[in-house]
Amino acid sequence: MNEQRRGQRSVLSTPGMATVRLRMDVELTRLDEKEAAVITTQALPSGERVLLEIPAERGAASNARLVRTGKIHLVLSHSQLRREVELGFIGHTGIRHEHDPVDHAAPMTATAAAVIRRVPVRLVEVSVSGCLWDAAVPMDEGNVGFLEVRTRGQCRTEAVRVLRRQATVDSNWPYRMAVEFLTLAPASPDSLRGVAVVVATGSPSGQGR
């Protein structure tokens, strides 16, 4: 993987737990009091809890709903095969408005919306340019999001992109992914990249390289 060529990797003696927050642009095609349906080009596993952001009227806050993914169908959309995912609402989340579209079951044209996934991952290697993590559910190559690592009351966040994915022999963590950091600013000592720099060079600024 590119991680081997782009920077010295540090294998973690004890894998660290983290969370990846992925935002996916989708088309909202159905909406009623109990469920919705979206069309997406990216993987969205069945049974996963995600947040659906529904567009609101001009000047109003967007509507956020906690949903669980259900059945997935292949459909032809914009001359391409895409995934249509059924979403079941979990309770009532977000801000409700007088004209909240969730209150009315009516035919609708496809509307731009977003799905936000929060996926637990197990960090196994970290370098100044990226990391390797294991996950219980798949993420597509090219997915962009934020990696959040909490240690001793601190939360370190890095913008990341999934470079490639392969299978593992661990049934609990069946997907291993090589990931690159996207942050352009210099590595802060408090960031995950900053920690990797110290481990790799012995210097917070990287001058020991």
At residue 91 the predicted structure's pLDDT band, cuts being 50, 70 and 90, is confident
Q: What is the mean pLDDT of residues 19-44?
A: 92
Domain with CATH 2.40.10.220 in the chain: 2-21+118-201
Confidence check: pLDDT of 205 > 90 = no
Confidence check: pLDDT of 81 > 90 = no
Domain with CATH 2.40.30 in the chain: 23-116
pTM of the full predicted structure? 0.74
pLDDT for the residue 57: 65
Please tell me the distance from the alpha carbon of residue 46 to that of residue 72, in angstroms, as a whole number.
Answer: 7
pLDDT for the residue 202: 52
First-last CA distance in the chain: 22
Mean pLDDT for the chain?
A: 80
**CA nearest neighbour of 66 among 87, 41, 44:** 87
Confidence check: pLDDT of 3 > 50 = no
29 Rama class: left (phi>0) / alpha (psi -120 to 50) / beta: alpha
**CA nearest neighbour of 141 among 156, 168, 160:** 160
Confidence check: pLDDT of 66 > 90 = yes
CATH number of 2-21+118-201: 2.40.10.220
* Phi, psi (degrees; rounded to nearest 5) at 5: -95, -25
Chain-centroid distance of CA 117 in Å reads 5
Long-range contacts of 71-78, Cβ-Cβ distance < 8 Å, separation of 24 or more: 71/46, 72/44, 72/46, 75/39, 77/27, 77/39
Q: What is the mean pLDDT of residues 154-181?
A: 93
What residues pair up with 69 in beta bridges, in sequence order? 87
pLDDT for the residue 64: 87
User: Is 23-116 a domain of CATH 2.40.30?
Assistant: yes
Please tell me the distance from the alpha carbon of residue 65 to that of residue 94, in angstroms, as a whole number.
Answer: 6
At residue 54 the predicted structure's pLDDT band, cuts being 50, 70 and 90, is confident
At residue 1 the predicted structure's pLDDT band, cuts being 50, 70 and 90, is very low
